[in-house]
Amino acid sequence: MQTSSKGVTLWLTGLSGAGKSTIANRLSEELIRHHLRTEILDGDAVRMNLSKGLGFSREDRDTNIARIAYVCSLLTRNGVIVISAAISPYAEARAKARETIGEFVEIFVKCSLDKTIKRDVKGLYKKALDGKIENFTGVSDPYEEPSRPEIVVNTEDETVDESVRKIFAYMAQRGYIDSALELSA
């Protein structure tokens, strides 16, 4: 049985490979373990289900983010804790998402470009650096760092659990979750 909570969108933003999906999955596992309604809107899943045909121009990225924000707003106002895990490189699109959604927590998943290039989990940076992918954030496309995010998690220095604890502490402080909620071992 899932319990009702105050809905909120946790908006993760950061470079490809910074750790957004890893943190999103860990957050989601814990929230589900505590019987809270939660949904992850992962960049790739959303592109398949809502934005097939859109590319990576600024206009297409903005449209993609606006669609994610619309779905986040519907879920959030129905008591779901939504975790968005799209790169969302443009500050203006994130600001619009904040406005659309209302209950919005911007989480900067911070990792240096050097480190994400070294990790290169999906092999995309190599392709982008070889010129085989266009409009690749951080390589051939800009990433605008959040100027005033509610939370910064630094995935070069922190473990996933440390990042998740930081996010839970903020959520508890703001009344989105019970302060007694603890991470599983």
Phi, psi of 108 (to 5 degrees): -85, 115
67 binds a second copy (CB under 8 A): yes
Binding residues for a second copy, total number by CB under 8 A: 17
| Farthest-apart Cα atoms in the chain, separation | 50
Based on the number of CB atoms within 10 Å of its own CB, is 175 exposed (0-12), middle (13-18) or buried (19 or more)? exposed
Name the minimum Å distance from CB 150 to a second copy. 23
Q: Which of 5, 21, 84, 88 is catalytic?
A: 88
Length of the chain: 185
87 binds a second copy (CB under 8 A): no
- The residue (of 53 and 123) whose beta carbon lies closer to a second copy is 53
Active site residue 88: yes
Q: Pick from 39, 120, 150, 162: which binds a second copy (CB under 8 A)? A: 39
The b/e string for 123-157 (b: 16+ C-beta within 10 A; e otherwise) is: ebbeebeeeebeebbbbebebeebeebbbbbbbee
140 binds a second copy (CB under 8 A): no
Token reading at 156 = 């070069």
Q: What residues are labeled active site? A: 88
Q: Which residues bind a second copy (CB under 8 A)?
A: 2, 4, 37, 39, 49-50, 52, 63, 66-67, 70-71, 74-75, 78-80
